[in-house]
Amino acid sequence: MAASTQLVCSGCGKAVDPGLHVFACPAARAGDDIDHVLVRHFRPDASRHDAAREAHQTTAHSAPTGCSFVRYRHHLHSYQQAVVDGLSDDGFCARVRRIDDRIFELDRRRFDVTPLTAETTLAEALGLGGALWVKNETGNVSGSHKARHMMGLALHLEGGEATGRLAIASCGNAALAASVVARAIDRPLDVFIPTDADPLVVERLEALGANTVRCPRLPGQTGDPCYHRFQEAVASGAFPFSCQGSDNGLTIEGGLTLGYELSEQLAALGDDADLLFVQVGGAALASAVVQGLFEAQRLDLEAVDSGLPFKMPKVVTVQTHGAFPLARAYHRLSRRLLQRLEGVQLGAEDLAAVDGASLLELYGPANAAQNLANASRLMAAWGSERMSSELSFAATHRASFMWAWEDAPHSVAHGILDDETYDWFAVVKGMLRSGGFPLLVDEATLVQANALAVEHTGIPVDPTGSSGFAGLLALHQAGTLPEGARSLVLFTGVDRAYEAKGR
Ligand SMILES: [Zn+2]
């Protein structure tokens, strides 16, 4: 049986031979400036409605339940590859359930569909004119959405021949998720952590059997020292058990389940959203959710029987004032695009030079109406020859758009301070295609948003986890939230201090 999915590099276009177990583009060469990221595609010859029907044998309009990785298995490349390798459908489900059961023993949580609720009390407290939907990931495995990415990788590892150690650079939710899932599949894990890592987190990582490696910032070194050490480990043969799509394209796959859940849940509630506020650090979350939502739209996931088209919300990406490499990259690319759409001929060197202070103003909440207007023009040009050629230029000139943030950043939302937006290209494309834009939020708003979120929803979300909501709050307070807009936000990580009290 042929797989209906295939890995294709979004940078160079290389299609990976079916049956080959790889996680990074085989055509990547050091210093080639191409944005090699493997992306799972449905093969053009696979019938989209068959794939969608296979995946959703439930009644239209019923809310999704049960294990997400069983429910959406047909969409996973790990599933398609396992079937090609001779595993039965039942065999794959048994594999998922075995890992999920082991995770439950370790963590008392499972990969069941997480709640999506209308938070009317919070919306009323703010005086929002439109609905507010919150997807609550704080009760997911290990207390955050990160575990979805790791489970997606675990399913590849269980089906492949990769042996040896796993590696990740993180001091927070990603490391906690990795250590739970690695333990569940009995794989040794090295976690590269900063010298000021939270002792609570380090204790939990070590209790789960992970090997922690402290990485001091070396004089003259730019970029995250933990990430440098992680890359060295991967170069020496470790498997990247991480959330950076550029190191391991397969990490996006598990996160797609979040997008699929959202589309089905909104359909079951008979609603949709105008704006999706999503926090961005390394961008695996945003990349996965956006891709999952677009696939749901393309595959008519929930509309197979109901005939209702799924409406894609505009994707508003939220970063802090501490570091905003994504807004910088978006600015450079969108300025080129807007010029090209007016017929201006551009050379490779035509790149907007703009400093951090100007970017803070350009992508602050007060300027959102202008950004929304630009975004609408760009969305209208999606698919045009001019836009496609500019996107190809960006994919093959990565260093002109994305580079490591120069200063060591600080924010209360410390989980989204990645100094590089690894999966930037997928997320910028998601903004362009959906009519969304980047938004930069200050510290006071991040703090206020977290307090409001906890008080009015009762969800023990931490300030990183509510930073997407801080974007919504910022627009509302600046008077730039479109009238009556229905908003969707993701509460991504639990407050660890709250969780420690409960244990
Ligand atoms: Zn490539």
pLDDT in tens, 121-140: 999 999 999 999 999 999 99
Measured distance CA(260)–CA(293) in Å, rounded = 6
Least confident of 96-110, 307-321, 402-416: 307-321
User: Which range (270-274, 328-332, 337-341, 436-440) has the least confidence?
Assistant: 270-274
The token pair that represents 314 in the structure block: 């505009």
Query: Which of 207, 214, 139 is CA-nearest to residue 176?
Result: 207
Global pTM reads 0.94
What sections of 86-187 are H helices per DSSP? 89-107, 120-126, 146-159, 173-184
Element (H, E) at 167: strand 166-169
Q: What are the tens digits of pLDDT across the range 254-297?
A: 999 999 999 989 988 888 899 999 999 999 999 999 999 998 87
Q: How far is the CA of 352 from the centre of ligand 1 (A)?
A: 26
Average the pLDDT over 196-224 and give the result. Answer: 91
CA of 395 to the centre of ligand 1 (A): 10
The CA distance from 292 to 263, in Å, is 9
Helices (H) and strands (E) in the chain, counts: 20, 12
User: Distance, CA 14 to ligand 1 centroid (Å)?
Assistant: 5
- Say yes or no to pLDDT of 201 above 60: yes
The CA 145 to ligand 1 mean position distance, Å, reads: 27
> Is 122 in contact with 133 (CB distance < 8 Å)?
no
What is the rounded distance in angstroms from the CA atom of residue 333 to the CA atom of residue 315? 17
261 within 8 A of 158, measured Cβ to Cβ:
no
Distance 249 CA to ligand 1 centre (A): 11
- Give the 3-state secondary structure of residue 50: helix
Q: How far is the CA of 229 from the centre of ligand 1 (A)?
A: 23
Q: Which of 60-69, 318-327, 421-430 has the least mean pLDDT?
A: 60-69
CA distances from 290 to 212, 297, 457 (A): 32, 11, 25
Angstrom distance (rounded) from CA 417 to CA 409:
6
d(CA 358, CA 367): 12
Q: Is there a contact between 200 and 190 (Cβ–Cβ < 8 Å)?
A: no
Residue 302 has pLDDT above 60, yes or no: no
Q: Please give the distance, rounded to the nearest whole angstrom, from the Cα atom of residue 421 to the centre of ligand 1.
A: 18
Give the mean pLDDT of the chain.
Answer: 91
**How close is the Cα of 8 to the center of ligand 1, in Å?**
8
The rounded distance, in Å, linking the Cα atoms of 39 and 30 is 20
12 Cα to the center of ligand 1, angstroms? 4
Query: What pLDDT is stored for residue 455 in this prediction?
Result: 98
Rg of the Cα trace of the chain?
A: 21
Write the secondary structure of 376-425 as one string of H (helix), E (strand) and C (coil).
HHHHHCCCCHHHHHHHHHHHCCHHHCCCCCCCCCCCCCHHHCCCCCCCHH
350-376 confidence digits (pLDDT tens): 888 889 999 999 999 999 999 999 999
Best CA proximity match to 241, nearest among 198, 309, 179: 179
> Per-residue pLDDT averaged across 101-112, rounded?
97
Residue 395 has pLDDT above 90, yes or no: yes
SS3 state of residue 336:
helix
What residues have CB less than 8 Å from 47, skipping those under 6 apart? none
CA–CA gap between residue 218 and residue 228 (Å, rounded) = 11
3-state SS assignment for residue 160: coil
Cα(13) to centroid(ligand 1), Å: 6
The answer to whether the Cα torsion of 44, 57, 300, 252 is positive or negative is negative
